[in-house]
Structure formats: C-alpha cells, structure tokens
Amino acid sequence: MDTHTITIDTGGTRGTFDLTGEVTAFVAGKGDGLVSVFVPHATAGIAIIETGAGSDADLMDVIDAILPRRDDRYRHRHGSEGHGADHLLPALVSPSVTIPVIDGRPALGTWQSLLLVDPNADNPSRTVRLSFIAG
Amino acid sequence: MDTHTITIDTGGTRGTFDLTGEVTAFVAGKGDGLVSVFVPHATAGIAIIETGAGSDADLMDVIDAILPRRDDRYRHRHGSEGHGADHLLPALVSPSVTIPVIDGRPALGTWQSLLLVDPNADNPSRTVRLSFIAG
Amino acid sequence: MDTHTITIDTGGTRGTFDLTGEVTAFVAGKGDGLVSVFVPHATAGIAIIETGAGSDADLMDVIDAILPRRDDRYRHRHGSEGHGADHLLPALVSPSVTIPVIDGRPALGTWQSLLLVDPNADNPSRTVRLSFIAG
C-alpha cells in the first residue's frame, strides 16, 4: 500500500484546513483505486464540503452549537476551556474518509473540497495519513 | 477497479432515496471486497438506517433541528432559503461510505438500508458513484 | 478478503464498547492494507474517540441531546421508549469505518480508541464485521 503522512500547519487556530490539493497530488499518476484520508488525532475530523461561500466558517458555528464549549457539562475537563467538546467532534465528523480515485484523480464533485476540521487551538500542526489501494 | 455512476431521480424533492437495490445489483457476482458509495455533490450524504417504520422521515426532521433552515444564521446565502443548511449536511452525514461485500452481496444487516440523503429541493436528479475493490 | 464477525457482549446496557483490542488482534500479521469495521445493526454506530477521561460517557449525553428520547417526536415508535432516537443514530455516527493498517497494526493515534456506540438497551449482544483488504 502506498501510504505516507503529511503535516498540516494549523497555526494553533480553530477552523478548517483544505487538504484537497495534498490529496490530489498524492493520488496523481496512481490510476484507479481508493484513497483513505485518516487523521490520527482524537480532536479532529475530516469533512467534504464546499468552500469559498462561507460554509467552512458556518461549519465551525454549527459544531459549537451541537457541542457547546462550556466545560461544566463534560466529564472530560483536561486542557483548555471547551476541550471536552473537542473530544466529541470525531464521533460526529469522522477522522476517517475513503474516496474513489479514477485515473489518478480523486472523484470529487465540482463543489466538494476535503477539509481537516480542527476545533482545538492547542496544537500548531496536525498529521494526516494518506493511503492508496489500487483497484 | 470496477466503477460507474448511477443517476437517482429525486424529482426535486427533499428526502431520502433508497440505493440498496442499486448497490446490491452492482456488486452481484463480484465475490468478496469493499464497495464504495460516493456522492459527488456538496449538499447530499449517505446514511445506513432502517426504512419502512418512519425513521427516514424522522431523519429529515432531525437534520432540520440540527441545521435550522433560517438563512440569517449562515454566511452561505446562495440559492433557495435553507441552502446554507444544505451545505453543512455532508459534514455530519458523510457523502462517502464503504461497505463490505461477501460473495457478491453487501453485508448489510436485516434492517439496514442504504439511503441517499438529499435536503436540497433544487436538483431534479443526483449522481452516485459505486466502486468495487476485490479483496 | 479476510473477513469475519465478532460478537460484543453489551449486557443490554446503553453505552460505548471498546473494539480496539479486537481490531488490533484481527489485523496482526496482515501487513499493509485497509480494515473495514462494520456493524450490521440499524441502531448502533462506530466512533473513534479517546477513552479514559470521560469522553465516552460524554458522547452518550450528547447523543441524547441531539436525538431526544421522547417518542412523541418520532414516527418510528416500535420498541422501548427512545427507540425512535436509536434508529437515527447511524445517520450521524456511521456503522461503517475504514482504517489504514501499517505493518499489521491499525494506524490509530495515541489517544484514539475504536468504539461500538450502542444507545439501545434491548440487545444483550452485537455483531461487528471486520474485513481486511491488503494493499
């Protein structure tokens, strides 16, 4: 299996980080198969949504509405305020997604981008593992 | 990789659309492996739930509760009322799911159906990509 | 494809059940590839989160906040109180996840555990299918 990790510089900022270019470069020339995009962190996930019209920022608002950042409601109270919420994100926005690859290109639709979703400002960078299985 | 797209006629109606028959037909005779079901649209997802007892309609209600369709709360304001909410759906109901295939049949449980979830009434039809990797 | 099912004794208790050991044992010695973890039930899902600091119990609280267990709000009213909510869980916490395997080990991060999420107390045990595709 062709697999390696990339490092995404999040600058310790909460938000989404576009991985589409990295995934596209990784599968270039590889033919047909499946690409697995996997985040080996417990407070981040992967989403496939549109960018450029505000939905990426809207997503962070919705996450905060679903997972309020008041620590008094969570048993998990390590880390910064809201870290209990961060630890629930991957149950709803999975850290693992698999995408078909056709002729060396991810089969994303015109308006789909592949985003790292990181609500946790405590880390300056994140690791993402890309793996390709030929089909 | 054996891959092709199917077109689902949604009639421009918000709701869920059962893909179980299409996926079952696609993997028939293919032996063991994984089938990827991928929607190349930015306002739709795939869910594996029971149908026939009301849960598919309940799901649309829950989606509207989690993602309220009042545009004044979203930065994304293109399209019809509520389209900002549509664009957040795929972060919570992923457009990509992978299912094991055993002896040419999807290994779904008795009560599981594979549904396209489309909250967006602006499209009369949707494309879904099915891909099979032999194992 | 190397595939088999395991049985998880939930004791008819709502909650999360750690599958990390079972998945690690399943892929041991198998080299590189992808492991599919799939629950063939309509009221359970798979989450990858941290355990040991309370987030697993927090997750059950969040699920009950997102999917309130008052039956009068669901069309699906079979089974025990709240069963209508149980049937919506897999739309948000998918019953299917795929994880990269490197040199016979799941490529999970230090703080990631793989959990069966079962909000439904009506079943004393659950089946989970593990499948490995070599890459």
> Nearest 5 degrees, angle CA A113-CA A115-CA A120?
160
Confidence of residue B72 (pLDDT cuts 50, 70, 90): confident
Select the more confidently predicted residue: C7 or C82. Answer: C7
Contact C23, C124 (CB under 8 A): no
| The pLDDT of residue B71 is above 90 | no
Contact B116, B19 (CB under 8 A): yes
Distance CA A94, CA A103 (A): 26
Cβ atoms within 10 Å of A51's Cβ, excluding its own: 19
Distance CA C57, CA C52 (A): 10
Cβ within 8 Å of residue A65, ≥6 positions away: none
Residue-level pLDDT at C80: 81
Instruction: With CB atoms and an 8 Å threshold, state whether C94 touches B94.
Output: yes
Residue-level pLDDT at C82: 87
How would you class A4 by CB atoms within 10 Å of its CB: exposed for 0-12, middle for 13-18, buried for 19 or more? Answer: exposed
Tokens of A115: 């985003």
| The pLDDT of residue C79 is above 90 | no
B77 vs A contacts (CB less than 8 Å): 54
| The pLDDT of residue B116 is above 80 | yes
A88 vs C contacts (CB less than 8 Å): 49, 55, 58-59, 62
Distance CA B24, CA C33 (A): 25
pLDDT tens-digit readout, A83-129: 999 999 999 999 999 999 999 999 999 999 999 999 999 899 999 99
Highest mean pLDDT among A73-77, C78-82, C95-99: C95-99
| The pLDDT of residue A79 is above 90 | no
Mean pLDDT value across chain C? 95
pLDDT tens-digit readout, A19-34: 999 999 999 999 999 9
Residue-level pLDDT at A76: 87
Total count of domains within chain C: 1
A to B CB pairs, distance under 8 Å: 105
| The pLDDT of residue B130 is above 80 | yes
- The residues facing C98 across adjacent strands are C36
Domain housing B21: 2-134
A50 vs B contacts (CB less than 8 Å): 42, 76, 87
- What SS3 string covers B76-87? CCCCCCCHHHHC
Cβ atoms within 10 Å of C124's Cβ, excluding its own: 10
| The pLDDT of residue C110 is above 90 | yes
How far from B121 is each of A5, A127, B10, CA to CA, in Å?
Answer: 39, 38, 8
Distance from CA of C127 to the nearest CA of B (A): 10
CATH number at residue C44: 2.60.120.460
Instruction: With CB atoms and an 8 Å threshold, state whether A40 touches C109.
Output: yes
B91 φψ region: left (φ > 0), alpha (ψ -120 to 50), beta (else)? alpha
Residue-level pLDDT at A124: 94
Q: In what order do the strands lie in the sheet with A2-9?
A: A2-9, A125-134, A33-38, A96-102, A105-106
CA nearest A47 in B: which residue? B91
Residue-level pLDDT at C81: 82
| The pLDDT of residue C71 is above 80 | no
pTM, two decimal places = 0.97
Confidence of residue C77 (pLDDT cuts 50, 70, 90): confident
Distance CA B22, CA A34 (A): 20
How far from C112 is each of A19, A35, B7, C20, C43, CA to CA, in Å?
Answer: 21, 21, 37, 9, 23
| The pLDDT of residue C124 is above 90 | yes
How far from B7 is each of A44, A100, B17, B46, CA to CA, in Å?
Answer: 33, 17, 11, 14
Concatenating the DSSP letter of every residue in A66-102 gives HS---GGG-S---SSTTHHHHTTHHHHS-SEEEEEEE
| The pLDDT of residue C72 is above 90 | no
pLDDT tens-digit readout, C44-66: 999 999 999 999 999 999 999 99
B62 vs C contacts (CB less than 8 Å): 66-67, 88, 91
pLDDT tens-digit readout, B7-46: 999 998 999 999 999 999 999 999 999 999 999 999 999 9
The residue with tokens 């389209």 is B83
Mean pLDDT value across chain B? 95
Contact A106, A4 (CB under 8 A): no
Cβ atoms within 10 Å of C121's Cβ, excluding its own: 16
Average pLDDT over residues C66-91: 89
Distance from CA of B27 to the nearest CA of C (A): 15
Distance CA C22, CA C4 (A): 11
